[in-house]
Chain A
Amino acid sequence: MQMTGDETAPQKALVEFREIGKTYPNGTVALRNVSFQVIEGDILAVCGENGAGKSTLMKILAGIEQPTQGTIHYEGRQRRIADPNVAGDMGIGMVHQHFSLIRSLSVAENLALGQEPRRGLLIDRRAAADRVRELAQKFSLDVDPNTKVGSLSVAAQQKVEILKALSRNTRLLILDEPSAVLTPQETQELFVQLRSLRARGVTIIFISHKLHEVRALANRITVIRSGEVVEDGVLSEMSDAAISKLVMGVDVTRASRNQRDLSAATPVVVVKKATVATGDADRRIDAIDLTIRAGEILGIAGVDGSGQEGVVDLLCGNVQPDEGDIALLGKPMALATTLDWRRAGMAHLPGDRFQIGGAPHMSLVDNVMAGSHRDKQFTRGPFLRVGAMVARTNELIKTFNVRCLGPREPLNSLSGGNAQKLVAAREFSSNPKFLIVNQPTRGIDVAAAAMIHGELLRLSQNGTAILLVTSDLDELLQLSDRVAVMFDGRIAVVLENDGLTPERLGPFMLGLEKTS
């Protein structure tokens, strides 16, 4: 354990939750009787299954939601945190599970929003930019104040989010699953920054589903299950097994793959010398050759930005290759659009589920049905069979264990992880011939991740060809029949997964070895 330095110093509570309860207007009880303390100078990990109430509790602390019961004490005084401005004045900053930046505004404008420096009636843009540079330097998070947020990579947006949360003399920084959108390398970098913040006296609350991250960063842990605190203690005193049991309430068994010989199976996707030379640099690909067979899970490994996203774009019809050929079940697809791909039997679980995977204000039924409104099953003449649609949604809610009040609730009333499960359920259940999954278990709890892994294996057993892109090497090696390692937009090597190890992949990922 690295972070237990201050055990002997007097422990002062910065925040104390007293019997906090929260019932949402739709009747969901998200929190009951939550009481615990956040000790000044700690890094506290808050863990719990999808829908446990973690985000809700943090939103209450950040003034975004109001508790329906109980009180919050800050620095020993009872405080009502009426809105995010009050929280900001108290020195509480939060990085949200779903980004809360305005994409069309620049970094400086995003940070200034609400407390703009002025010159006369106008915004003092130079002062706003200087402020960003100053903050960026102080916390060594480098960002350019004048770029538009929408054009930044996810990792860079994350940095902007953190800077924004730190921009008001912040003493308590809340991070709601900050690593869920980051690659392992970026996560390491984030942790270095968080440790240095802690050294400056910032108290940190950190939500994560990944135990190794919690271990690497936090010194205390609070576990929430179904809206109640089930554990609150010093991390070094608990074993991994004890924690995961606490989080899930049960032991989780991992799905495992059978070694199969698929060399004789029909090729479903065949890519020949495909090149995409335009667009974002980290999405370009160069003379890719790839075959995915029926029933096969082909994993793509590589340092983030090595062209994995480019391959996904290519195989879901987002981009068309400048050169080369693609075929899906023998049909040429080089000019196909996303719609053509979908009609030909492709399904796609995108990496960025909230931006492009679902419609937050629409109901679960609408989100499940998106894309299959024309299926015979759900239409009668020109009309939709609403009953059948609701039944289907209910079925998916059940098999994928989506925690919600009912199929007619809007998607944004679901917890982050449960919303992701629903989008996954939709894609998996369309009986695809070819399925692309991009980071399938980001932000999803251990039990749900095991369930998703099980579903992927089941689909592959039924003959679906699956392209798996993930930055989690454990997941990759656990599921893939073969692994293609990408480096610099090319496929460095394709390896059979007969007991592959991360060490074996490493040199290819770093471009030190090449055999293709």
Chain B
Amino acid sequence: MMDLAASLLSPEFFAAILRVSTPIILVAMGVLISERAGVVNIGAEGMMLSGAFCGVVFSAYTGSATVGLVAAIVAGMVGGLFMSFAVHVLRANLFLSGIALNLAASAGTILALFALTGEKGISGTLDSEVLPSVHIPWIQDLPVLGTILSGHHILTYVAFLSVPAVAIFMMRTPTGLRMRAVGENPEAAKATGLSVIRLQLQAFLLCGVFAGAGGAFLSMGYVSWFSQNMTAGRGFIALAAEVMGAGGAYGTLAASLLLGSVDVLAIALAGEGLPSELLQAAPYVVTVLALALYGLRQAKQKTIGTVH
């Protein structure tokens, strides 16, 4: 038990939280943009998965990690295009389209993996690249803080920097303002002359950028392979983080970090001999609990003005 306490307070533990939270933060930022524009993107998980896959494949064939990352982002955006096409052109249900995208991505990546490598589980035979880690001069030499803050993957820094960027984008730029208007009251926005479809398409594409990058982090961050369904529900956890953050970028960051910590804690506790199945379920259980609490709070606030 002493060991555990020590390991929980160690700088490595906090560094692990930042690492594990990275994909959740990235995807949650994308989800936030789509949600505020009125099109909650259930398909984030699928976008992330295709990003993870394309990153590995393209970096393996070109030998360039950068090309891999770009490919991952493009894959996410293609997912965004799909969502917009389904919802705006075919007038399909938003949630069903998202689920369709997730299923298609899950099966499609396995199929493509098999076609390329002859394997169905893991892309071990593809010699793919990893994105670099960054050592921050000065900070890396600090005790404790150096371990926590320096030496992370480049996308970890991108994820944290993207939070204020998304906050400013949503709250301070014309496009962000218009997206919020469209998300809150599409009819009114239309009457003002805004193009609801164009703004929601943009939101889907931006969400794809973030989800694709989040996927790339999984397959090109600390590992250099893709395995089937390697996102393991992180897209949904990001959706939950966005809801818990109540649509604000900083709140979403806090929620992502919370969900990330639970994950890390579960890994730490696994070393203590607790059943690992139970621990693996922890992040999902916490997500459900957090959402339930959030729902209760919402319900309380809503008593005024309701008729039924």
Contact = CB atoms under 8 A, between A and B. Distances in A.
B89 interface: no
Given A105-B181, A114-B178, A338 B307 contact: yes
Contacts of B303: 318, 337-338
B298 interface: no
A94 B185 CA distance: 17
Interface stretch (B93-101, B191-199, B220-228, B269-277): B191-199
A304 to B, nearest CB: 19
Question: How would you classify the secondary structure of chain A's contact residues: helix, strand, loop or mixed?
Answer: loop
Interface string A351-377: 000011100000000000011000000
Contact of B173 (A113, A121, A339): A121
A88 B304 CA distance: 37
A123 B306 contact: no
Contact of A102 (B172, B188, B193, B308): B188
Interface string B166-198: 001000111001101100110111111110000
B102 to A, nearest CB: 26
B115 to A, nearest CB: 43
A89 B253 CA distance: 42
A31 interface: no
Interface of B: 168, 172-174, 177-178, 180-181, 184-185, 187-194, 303-308
B304 A318 contact: yes
A104 B181 CA distance: 9
Contact of A109 (B177, B188, B190, B304): B177
Interface in A88-103: 88, 94, 96, 99-103
Interface of A: 62-64, 83-85, 88, 94, 96, 99-105, 109, 112-114, 116, 118, 121-123, 125, 164, 316, 318-319, 337-339, 342, 348, 350, 355-357, 370-371
B308 A338 contact: yes
A194 B109 CA distance: 63
Given A96-B191, A113-B194, A122-B172, A104 B180 contact: yes
Contacts of B178: 113-114
29 contacts: A84-B191, A94-B191, A96-B191, A99-B188, A100-B185, A100-B187, A102-B180, A102-B185, A102-B189, A103-B184, A105-B181, A105-B184, A112-B177, A114-B192, A114-B194, A116-B174, A118-B174, A122-B172, A123-B172, A123-B177, A164-B192, A316-B307, A318-B305, A318-B306, A338-B307, A338-B308, A339-B308, A350-B307, A356-B306
Contacts of A103: 184-185
A88 B181 contact: no
Contacts of A316: 307
Nearest to A319: B304
B187 A357 contact: no
Contacts of B308: 338-339, 342, 370-371
A462 to B, nearest CB: 23
Counting chain B CB atoms within 10 Å of each CB, the highest count among A101, A164, A337, A350 belongs to A101
A442 B194 CA distance: 30
A439 to B, nearest CB: 15
Contact of B177 (A113, A319, A371): A113
B180 A100 contact: no
B136 to A, nearest CB: 27
Contact of B192 (A113, A118, A318, A371): A113
B24 to A, nearest CB: 26
A113 B191 CA distance: 11
A346 to B, nearest CB: 11
Given A104-B184, A121-B173, A123-B177, A338 B306 contact: yes
Nearest to A355: B305
B181 A113 contact: yes
Contacts of A84: 190-193
A357 B307 contact: yes
B211 to A, nearest CB: 24
A325 B192 CA distance: 48
Nearest to A63: B193
B175 to A, nearest CB: 9
Counting chain B CB atoms within 10 Å of each CB, the highest count among A99, A102, A105, A318 belongs to A102
A58 B304 CA distance: 34
B305 A100 contact: no
Lowest 9 A-B CB distances belong to which pairs? Answer: A84-B193, A85-B193, A100-B188, A116-B174, A100-B191, A122-B172, A371-B308, A102-B181, A114-B193
Contacts of B180: 102, 104-105
B176 to A, nearest CB: 9
Contacts of A118: 174
B265 to A, nearest CB: 36
A178 to B, nearest CB: 15
A105 B307 CA distance: 25
Nearest to A109: B177
B191 A356 contact: no
Nearest to B195: A83
A164 B194 CA distance: 14
Contacts of B187: 100
B173 A356 contact: no
A123 B177 CA distance: 9
Counting chain A CB atoms within 10 Å of each CB, the highest count among B173, B188, B192 belongs to B192
Contact of A105 (B172, B173, B177, B190): B177
Contacts of A355: 305
Nearest to B184: A102
Contacts of B188: 99-102
Counting chain A CB atoms within 10 Å of each CB, the highest count among B173, B190, B305, B307 belongs to B307
A101 B192 CA distance: 9
Contacts of A85: 193
A114 B180 CA distance: 12
A337 B173 CA distance: 42
Contacts of A371: 307-308
A184 to B, nearest CB: 25
B184 A123 contact: no
Contacts of B304: 318-319
B194 to A, nearest CB: 6
